[in-house]
Structure 1
Amino acid sequence: MTNSTAIKRPLGANDTPARIAVTCALAGPALDLLRTVAEVEVPDADRPLSADELRSLVAGADAVVVTVHDKVDRELLDAAGPALKIVANVAVGYDNVDVAACADRGLVVTNTPGVLTDATADLAIGLLMSVTRRLAEGDRMLRAGTSWSFRLDFLLGCGMQGKTLGIVGLGQIGRAVAQRARAFGMKVAYTGERASNEVEQSLAARYVSMDALLREADFVSLHCPLTPQTSHLMDAAAFDRMKPTAFLVNTSRGPIVDESALADALEAGAIAGAALDVFEEEPRVEPRLLAMDNVVLAPHLGSATLETRTEMAVLAARNVVSVLTGSGALTPISS
């Protein structure tokens, strides 16, 4: 089931080699780095592990490296046992980790901020271009062998110049999207935590309430973390406040959008279209969305470049090595 390499420092429980449980395949440089300090166990399965498989894998581990689809709850921490020192999440968001439960056990939790900012921002703009210019729709038409000819009214889309991009969450990724939006001639409004005057001025970004953003924006792009407060932030009431010509883009977390309410809004013409990289119940997608030409769907590709995924994995590995060798975490999450 697993492949592992034992190296005898640092020592774990009972003076045995420290052990690192990795829940999925990582880039080679990250695994090589982990193997310099411990025995590394990686499942052969090319899929998310079940809860039982996760508990079995982490039992007795000194460190655990997880991804966004691995639920790190009290049961998993209990299964790991007292040797566990760090949970390294290969992602920026950490809604999959019970940070409070980790804090109760004195565990360090880390994430991978910064390294995936540009890749995710690029994808957000790419999704926006695809849905507004009907690129995926045209691609499907050609692949289906549908007859066509150039006409001045053929597959007309929506331009971005002069339009307002509403950004929900002006963190690192939100700011990177705003920079790209300016290059396309868009105006930027944002909501969420207020940025500094310097950031607002550098991005020509205008702070507005959530209600005002939904009413004013031609494009709404989600970049907030998933919390109890943001779960189903985009619900039926939110879609009712958007322009009927507006588009939604989500590269944050799936449950921020009520997919059923989104499908209802699209069917009713309450908004013009949507582009989603994340979903409420991944890998499941609301079936009605699959049948809609004005919806562009991607299978969670926000950080999916070779360079970015490698950097994410290496940063997670560096956090583990640093904690196990007593130097402290590089990018810790506080509870």
Structure 2
Amino acid sequence: MMQKAFLCRRFTAAIEAELRERFDLSLNEDDALLPPVEIARRAAGAEVLLVTATEVVDAEVMRALQPGLKAIATLSVGYDHIDMAAAQAMGIQVLHTPDVLSNACAEIAMLLVLNACRRGYEADRMVRSGAWPGWGPTQLLGLGLTGRRLGIFGMGRIGRAIATRARAFGLEIHYHNRTRLAPELEQGATYHDALDGLLAASEIFVVAAPGGPGLAGIIDHERIARIPAGGVLVNISRGDLINDDALIGALKSKHLSAAGLDVFANEPAIDPRYRALDNVFLTPHIGSATHETRNAMGWLLIRGLEALADGKVPENLLSPRRSEDIPHPLQGRA
């Protein structure tokens, strides 16, 4: 008899078809974001709960789904939306999707870097609006990349994939991690043992550290002020790592020349002040949004659930493990 599963958001057609073959699947047909109380109601009786980073799976949801719920599978690398302590206490196994989205996220990071530095939003708007007067020698002057210092906060798999691409643009790589990488992973990048030191060295500063309560608001007024004047900030990590007041103030004052953001606090209800700024390039959380990547993420969850059913320990299992076995956010996992 197939396990009952509930799918909180729509996955790709190919992955949903595979899930139907393996589970007695119910799903959120209209793909609307479900609050915790609605997840608990609609997933009643489920043994497997399939979620994404947009769903909050707290202790109350897990208690409401007891005693049946055995596994939570999240289509994300980050797992700060899941109460891991509650999952461990209730013996609920949690799967996530590391490794397979590094290239897609690194591509978006470079998209943001390029558009922020070369004023992509303003250029596109000028052409579309019919306001372009023709080529001019001082029109839309931006920042070239070659020879500039790129600082990466969080040098896990995604951070290293960003570094690989950035080197091809002639950028000098600096980074901060909780621990220094081995030389073969560092590949000549300059390590900073303190975040403040990295900020001071970064003409372009990229946030690639995964989220978590300990990092919320870490990029605040004081830290943004450490970025050299005229610098650029890019965030592909979690929106709540950035203090919006601090970033918007720095963009308005031109302490930062530009920013590129793929993630925001309180998505999709972003701070409306960003929409009024010409010097910020915005994308709607599309870091892993390729057909190949979303299918690969889905397959990783399917194979992990199959391994659990066979009594094996999948590589993408987060819980139940001892808390000390779960990697620190800056320790090699992005």
TM-score, reference length from structure 1:
0.92
Report how far residue 50 of structure 1 moved: 2.4
1:188 corresponds in structure 2 to 173
Task: Specify whether residues 325 and 20 from structure 1 end up closer, same or farther in structure 2 by C-alpha distance, changes over 3 A only.
Answer: farther
Give matches, 1:247-326, under 5 Å. Answer: 247-326=232-311
Q: Do residues 206 (structure 1) and 190 (structure 2) align?
A: yes
Q: Residue 297 of structure 1: CA displacement?
A: 0.4
Name the CA distance, whole Å, in 2 between partners of 1:301 and 1:94.
18
Cα deviation, residue 52, structure 1: 2.6
Say how many residue pairs are matched. 319
Q: Deviations over 1:274-328 (max 9, x none)?
A: 1000000100121111111110000000000111111111211222233234334
What is the CA-CA distance between 1:81 and the residue it aligns to?
A: 1.3
Partners of 1:151 and 1:141 in 2: CA distance: 13
Structure 1: gaps spanning 5 or more residues:
1-7, 10-17
Offset at 1:101? 0.5
The residue type equivalent to 1:167 in the other structure is: I
Q: Distance in 2 between matches of 1:60 and 1:253?
A: 32
Determine the C-alpha separation between the residues in 2 that align with 1:91 and 1:233.
Answer: 22
Query: More displaced, 26-35 or 174-183?
Result: 26-35
Report the Cα distance in structure 2 between the residues aligned to 1:31 and 1:326, rounded to whole angstroms.
Answer: 24
Structure 2 counterpart of 1:57:
42
Per-residue CA deviations over 1:143-180 (Å, capped at 9, x if unaligned) read 12214211111111100000000000100000000111
Letter in 2 for 1:249: V
Give how far 1:266 is off.
1.2
Q: Which residue among 217, 224, 233 is the counterpart of 2:218?
A: 233
- Does residue 166 (structure 1) correspond to residue 148 (structure 2)? The answer is no
Q: Kindly tell me: are residues 67 and 201 of structure 1, through their superposed partners in 2, closer, same or farther at Cα, counting changes over 3 Å?
A: closer
Residues 70-111 of structure 1 show CA distances to partners (whole Å, capped at 9, x for unaligned) of 101001101111111111010001110111110001111111
2:59 to 74, 79, 87: 74
Matched, 1:327 2:312: yes
Aligned sequence identity (%): 35
Contact kept in structure 2, 1:251 and 1:277, CA below 8 Å: yes
Structure 2 Cα separation of the partners of residues 160 and 137 of structure 1:
18
- What's the counterpart of residue 134 of structure 1? 119
Q: Give the letter for the 2:273 counterpart.
A: R
- For the 8 Å contact 2:232–2:259, the answer to whether it is kept is yes
Q: Which moved more, 1:219-228 or 1:28-37?
A: 28-37
Q: Given residue 54 of structure 2, which amino acid in structure 1 is its aligned partner?
A: H
The code of the aligned residue for 2:130 comes to: G
Root-mean-square deviation over aligned CA pairs = 1.4
- Alpha-carbon distance in structure 1 between the residues aligned to 2:61 and 2:153: 33
The DSSP-based 3-state class of the residue aligned with 1:35 is: helix
Output the amino acid matched with 1:52: V
Structure 2: distance between partners of 1:136 and 1:182 = 24
Q: CA deviation at 1:272?
A: 1.2
Which residue does the alignment assign to 1:35? Answer: 20
Unaligned runs of 5+ in 2: 324-334
> Which of 90, 98, 105 does residue 113 from structure 1 map onto?
98
